Structure 1
Amino acid sequence: MSLHPLGTTKRSASILSLLILLIGLSPALSATILTEQVQPPSALQLAQAQDSRKVEADQLLDQGIEQYNTSQFEAAMQSWQQALNLYQELKDRLGEGNALGNLGVAYFSLGNYPKAIEVQEQSLAIARELKDRLGEGQSLGNLGNAYDALGNYPKAIEVQDQRLAIARELKDRLGEGKALGNLGNAYKALGNYPKAIELQEQSLAIAREIKDRLWEGQSLGNLGNAYYALGNYPRAIEVQEQSLAIARELKDRRGEGNALGNLGNAYYSLGNYPKAIELQEQSLAIAREIKDRQGEGNALGNLGLARFNAGQLPQAEQDLLAAIAVFESLRDRLTDSQKVSIADTQFQAYNNLQRVLIAQNKVGPALEIAERGRARAFAELLAKRTQGQETLTIQPIQMAAIQQVAREQKATLVEYANIYDEQLFIWVVKPTGEVVFRQVDFKPLQQQKTSLGNLVAAARCLGAVGCEEAMASRGSQPVAFNVAQGDRQFGKAPVTTIKNEYLQQLHKLLIAPIADLLPKDPNERVIFVPQGRMFLLPFAALQDEQGKYLIEKHTIAVSPSIQVLQLTHKQRQFSTKTGNVLLVGNPKMPSVIYKPGDPPGDLLPLPGAEQEAKAIAKLLNVPALIGAQATKVAVLKQMPQARIIHLATHGLLDDLGGVGVPGAIALAPSSSAPNDGLLTANELLDLKLKAELVVLSACDTGKGKITGDGVIGLSRSLITAGVPSVIVSLWKVPDAPTAELMTDFYRYLNQGRDKATALRQAMLDTKQKYPDPIAWAPFELIGEAE
């Protein structure tokens, strides 16, 4: 359930403007119309004209504050924009900073968080230029709120901590209280409820100490939210009722709406659905009255959930559809990274609507909503790049188009939706267009005090798949491990036994319920559309009760969503059919600094990667870039014209550019500078490629930041750059078996097999020599399978 964000800090009017009004300077004079007797204005006339515009600007600033306080956000924004224009004409930097700060608050209230961040950063820069510590603190507080609204809680905490330090330095008790409250909100969002309660109680104590009733009410609301998150619903109700009383006393409509919505959530959790519905309807009415779009979306989502549990399914469906429409309207002006971030704060409405639709046996519409709630930012970014339109907004994929994708791909599509770790929804779309729905109850997992995500981690780690202790690999220090014999131990149990236990349990949950719907011919393709931690799951290695691996029965590929698959299919028509093959193997390794202040570390050479590139080069009769030849400059020069790009080197998981897109490929440096030679995921995102296939034969290249939009990392960047098919790894791949697997892959590809079939056959060949899945199952094909 969504809880309403509270505690937005409003930048007040400039002290100078208030002083001017207090000492009673003359009102502004009317502008003088010049006649043909043009003469330069006197010094007195210039001073009077400047005073006139200054007073007007200050009055507009104050007018905007009055409008904001009565929830007239758009009117307030107009007043502050006019004030800003006048201050800029007068070169009044203090007034300009104040107007920008207040504009940022207005943009925040209207849900335009990127614009709020933009103008608050301008206000912050002016405050720092003027050494205005109070203004600096206020701008930091407002910036933190905007980051919080976008779901970027670590950044919100970082900024609010700076604001708190300034408030304490200046002995600004109100600023200190607000910083503490906003920090509490961010910690609550991260699940640290005791810390959130501690901070909110400190904030409340300050509000009562300085007798600030407005902030006291907001602090109570935030504290109630923290108690709610902790599961103490009676205490949450008690505190929220105090917040509601203060909001009504002060005629604070936004605070009243927030308190009503939060009370509704608490009553819902106690099972009192009629009371919850009543309160959410009141909250919704206020949000619409004051044009609070975020509050409207929250109220609709909470109302829909309460009605679902009350058995009012048609009404719940309409409420949740309306909530999603509001949330999606808030995404229009966001950047890609901001869309990804905010999507993680809005997923409940999509999940709950799927539940409502399935309860009404609306299988197709439920699949449409499952698609609508995932990888939308990816799809929009990909569509813009494909069609060359920066302002393109794509429509959610509909059932007929989903069925068309299955026909075009000649594949069975399997889409999963994990609903709060309580249920697993599975849709199977056959190439014929038939759609079948199955669901799995996760209550047995809950009784075992585990979850699907924990099982995925266990299959990968306890079974040695992807752990730091992996054998000699492309991305870690070599250690002794005989893959052929599988003799590494975990505790006293053989590794293979532990691994198989979890791989079999995952097969039972994910594959067994739909096994009868999957193709019987192992050459027919199955494309999985995972969610969350399932993106890290080696589907090829899932094992049935007879010990047979999934790759032995099916040809497998993966996609972040069906809509992304639809777009990669369109993208394929732009791929070059005549370009060269770019082969890179074991480049001279760069020194790497992972974190500022750390000493550089050297990446180990990979002789297997060099053998791999040379073997493929011989097979395809093309040159390979080896060692010092494989510089980042040389590789980037060839990438735009290449038909196939194969990079056998180290893969790194870190966000080395600090831009929120983790992942990098190690290439030979052109200088001795640390990190020179690293090709980052963010750099790949900006390329325009025509390759039909990129193979990242390196460690962890399929991993990244797991979000509601899929995996943010190397594969996403390459597909966005124009590549319809990408092969990546899910863990630290072993050097020697990988070299053999990749050589086999290209041999089958050169024989005319499609990409998915060639990868499957190469896996099966490698499995004969290296039976352990750690050697043959790390690679997966994302996107186009042909």
Structure 2
Amino acid sequence: MIKNSKQYFPYLITKLVPAFIILTTVTATYSSALANNKSHIFQNKITFKQTTTKQIAKPLMKQFSKSSEALNTEQIKQVAKQQNATIVQYSIIADESVVNGKTEAQESELYTWVIKPTGDVQFRKVDLKALGEIEKNSFLNLFRRHRRNLGARSEVTKGVKLEYNPKKKISSTDLQKLHQVLIKPIADLLPQKPDEQLIFIPQGELFSVPFAALQDEEGKYLIEKHTISTAPSVQILDLLYQRKNKGKGEQSFIPTNITGNELLIVGNPTAPKIPFKTGKEICKVPPLPGAEKEAKNIAEMFQAQPLIGNAATETAIVKKMPQARIIHLATYTLPNNCVEENSPGVIALASSERDDGWLKTEEIQNLNLKADLVVLASCDTALGKITGDGVIGLSRAFLGAGADSVIGSLWAVDDMTTAYLITELYGNLRKNTDKAGALRQAMLETMKKYPNPQDWAAFTLIGLF
């Protein structure tokens, strides 16, 4: 945190929790409308009903005079047309049941909408109760087991030390079961060409699904068939698009035209001098040699000067951020409260006389950025607190501050394999590949050398592709 900076309300990064029972979300508003009458899918306008959701959306909404208006059917179709992408929206429907005298929510159905750029809207549903009887387990418990195997932070891993294990392979059975529920029912509606854009808008815990690694019966990963990105909601996707056009017009993102001053590359900063929280092992900042190598490789590609070690101070980085069109942060991240199972909310940078080196989410979201892309090449950076408006964490803070898109990770990533994947990502961007396409090609190249999905499938693109 920079000294003398204005203090804002606490920005809580808490453990991932099942949020599928809260049907006041953007997704579930028209999910429940469809449940009552499937012939009027989007007749009810999408609205932000929860106070917390309004607060979360404010950093994006305040920039548009009409941003508080809900999206109707035609507007939702228009978003898909503007993006020239197929949008897939999920919603888990829950029933209440009494278990041991207590009322609990049990997932009953998965609703999925597919909105094509042509304006065509299709609906499919999966009976999760029937699936649970076959599997002898609920769908969300299957998903949580998969998350534990990845070493990802969540409520259900509380008290269990999670570490990256390169020898531990992800169960292909789990990936195929997730594919069977989330992808197979809509496979015939998805784009036929691999370079056509596919945007997933999940709900609740589904925001932490590694869609790229979902595997069909033939063993083919979804990323081999599609170019994938995610978004918090249809409305936020539209707001990002409006904001970009308002600020940059139709100016394309062409990395080869970016100058040194527009590229901020940070790798392996020196640990802050003042501990974030004394006595907490997780709050100790280790050196990241792979991150330094990664930053130097990227800087060489773009003929730029990276900020490494003592030069990567919080003050220097925050000063450069508003001018940067690409922000790359290969750093160590940690939770606000240093509780291991919680998601990151603080970025560790070198400290100086003007700052303490700890860049927090509340500081990030109040910056004024123009970045086309922010890459958070650290552990769990796409995770955060699950709310009715998606995942609230580091990635959302950068989107709210002005970034068009963020690439973050869904679990603890290895320093060296990440350096390989991210270097491939920027190599593809240098060839004028779009952001989602560049990430896809990087994953395909990385899986040749590191076939374990744990090594190549952690990163996801959030926002505009």
Q: Same fold (TM over 0.5)?
A: yes
TM-superposed CA distance for 1:670, in Å, is 1.6
Q: Which amino acid in 2 is paired with 1:747?
A: G
Task: Judge conservation of contact 2:113–2:121 (CA < 8 Å) in 1.
Answer: yes
- The equivalent of 2:323 in structure 1 is 641
- CA drift at 1:455: 2.3
Equivalent residues of 1:653, 1:704 under 8 A apart: no
Judge conservation of contact 1:382–1:567 (CA < 8 Å) in 2. Answer: no
How many angstroms apart in 2 are the aligned matches of 1:348 and 1:619?
42
Q: Aligned residue for 2:241? A: 569
Per-residue CA deviation, residues 554-597 of structure 1 (Å, 9 max, x unaligned), is 00000010110001111223259765100001111226756577
* SS state at 2:235 partner: helix
1:437 aligns to 2:133 (yes or no): no
C-alpha distance in structure 2 between counterparts of 1:600 and 1:440, whole Å: 40
Q: Which of 432, 439, 448 lines up with 1:752 in the alignment?
A: 432
Q: Is the 8 A contact 1:661 1:681 kept in 2?
A: no
Is structure 2 residue 54 aligned with structure 1 residue 377? Answer: yes
2:84 to 402, 410, 427: 410
User: What is the DSSP-based 3-state SS (H/G/I as helix, E as strand, rest coil) of the residue aligned with 1:433?
Assistant: coil
Name 1:538's counterpart in structure 2.
Answer: 210
Q: Does 1:669 align with 2:343?
A: no
Cα deviation for residue 662 of structure 1 reads: 5.8
Code of the aligned partner of 1:384: M
SS in 1 for 2:206: helix
The DSSP-based 3-state class of the residue aligned with 1:762 is: helix
Pick closer, same or farther for the CA change 1:378–1:738 going to 2, 3 Å: farther
Corresponding residue SS for 1:535: helix
Once the two structures are TM-superposed, the CA of residue 382 in structure 1 deviates from its matched residue by 3.9
One-letter amino acid matched to 2:61: K
Distance 2:420 2:328 in 1: 14
Name whichever structure is richer in strand by fraction. 2
Q: Distance in 1 between matches of 2:113 and 2:282?
A: 48
2:404 aligns with one of 712, 721, 724: 724
Native 8 Å contact 2:33 2:40 kept in 1:
no
CA apart distance, 1:386: 2.1
> What are structure 2's unaligned runs of at least 5 residues?
1-11, 95-106, 155-160
Contact kept, 8 Å, 1:380 with 1:394, in 2: the verdict is no
Question: Is 2:298 the counterpart of 1:624?
Answer: no
In the alignment, does 2:146 pair up with 1:459? Answer: yes
Partner of residue 165, structure 1: none
Alignment of 1:506-525 (within 5 A): 506-525=178-197
Q: CA deviation at 1:709?
A: 1.9
**Percent of residue pairs identical:** 44
Deviations 1:517-540 (A, max 9, x none): 001101101000000001111110
Q: Structure 1 residue 347 and structure 2 residue 20: aligned?
A: no
Seen in structure 2, the aligned counterparts of structure 1 residues 703 and 592 have a Cα distance that, compared at 3 Å, is: farther
- Map of 1:238-387 to 2, 5 A cutoff? 347=24, 351=28, 354-355=31-32, 357-365=34-42, 368-369=45-46, 377=54, 380-387=57-64
Counterpart of 1:543 in 2: which secondary structure?
A: coil
Cα separation, 2, equivalents of 1:513 and 1:705: 29
Query: Aligned residue for 2:102?
Result: none
Contact 1:662–1:712 (CA<8 Å) still a contact in 2? no
Q: Which residue of the partner structure matches residue 554 of structure 1?
A: 226
In 1, are the aligned partners of 2:27 and 2:203 still within 8 Å (CA)? no
Separation in 1, partners of 2:305, 2:29: 54
Distance apart, 1:776 and its partner CA? 0.4
Q: Once the 2 structures are TM-superposed, how far is the Cα of residue 373 of structure 1 from its aligned partner?
A: 6.3
Of 68, 72, 81 in structure 2, the residue corresponding to residue 398 of structure 1 is 72
Residues 462-490 of structure 1, C-alpha deviation per residue, up to 9 Å, x if partnerless?
A: 2x35379xxxxxxx9987x4x4xxx43xx
- Post-superposition Cα deviations, 1:12-54, rounded to whole Å, max 9, x if no partner, equal xxxxxxxxxxxxxxxxxxxxxxxxxxxxxxxxxxxxxxxxxxx
Shift of 1:459: 1.5
Contact 2:61/2:239, CA 8 A, preserved across alignment: no
The residue type paired with residue 638 of structure 1 is K
Give 1:654 deviation, angstroms: 3.0
Which amino acid in structure 2 is aligned with residue 689 of structure 1?
L
The answer for the alignment partner of 2:376 in structure 1 is: 696
CA distance in 2 between counterparts of 1:352 and 1:385 reads 22
TM-score when scaled to structure 2?
Answer: 0.81
Moved over 4 A (4+): 343-346, 348-353, 366-369, 371-376, 476-479, 575-579, 591-601
Supply the distance in 2 between the matched residues of 1:613 and 1:593 (Cα, whole angstroms). Answer: 25
Shift in alpha-carbon separation, 1:346–1:594, aligned structure 2, 3 A = farther
Which AA in structure 2 matches 1:669? S
In structure 1, the residue matched to 2:158 is none
Q: Give the deviation of 1:368 after TM superposition.
A: 4.7
AA partner of residue 722 (structure 1): G
Greater share of helix residues, 1 or 2?
A: 1
**Distance of aligned partners of 1:384 and 1:466 in 2 relative to their CA distance in 1, 3 Å threshold:** closer
Cα deviation for residue 451 of structure 1 reads: 3.1
Any idea what SS the aligned residue of 1:753 has? coil
Determine the C-alpha separation between the residues in 2 that align with 1:557 and 1:415.
12
Counterparts in 2 of 1:514 and 1:366: CA distance versus 1, 3 Å: farther
Change (3 A) 1:662 1:397: farther
Q: 1:700 to 1:383 in 2, by over 3 A?
A: closer
2:199 equivalent in structure 1 = 527
- Provide the rounded CA distance (Å) in 1 between the counterparts of 2:139 and 2:23: 21
- Structure 1 residue 352, shift from structure 2 partner: 8.2
Deviations 1:293-327 (A, max 9, x none): xxxxxxxxxxxxxxxxxxxxxxxxxxxxxxxxxxx
Q: TM-score when scaled to structure 1?
A: 0.49
In the alignment, the residues of structure 2 paired with residue 404 and residue 749 of structure 1 have an alpha-carbon distance, to the nearest angstrom, of: 28
Q: CA deviation at 1:367?
A: 7.9
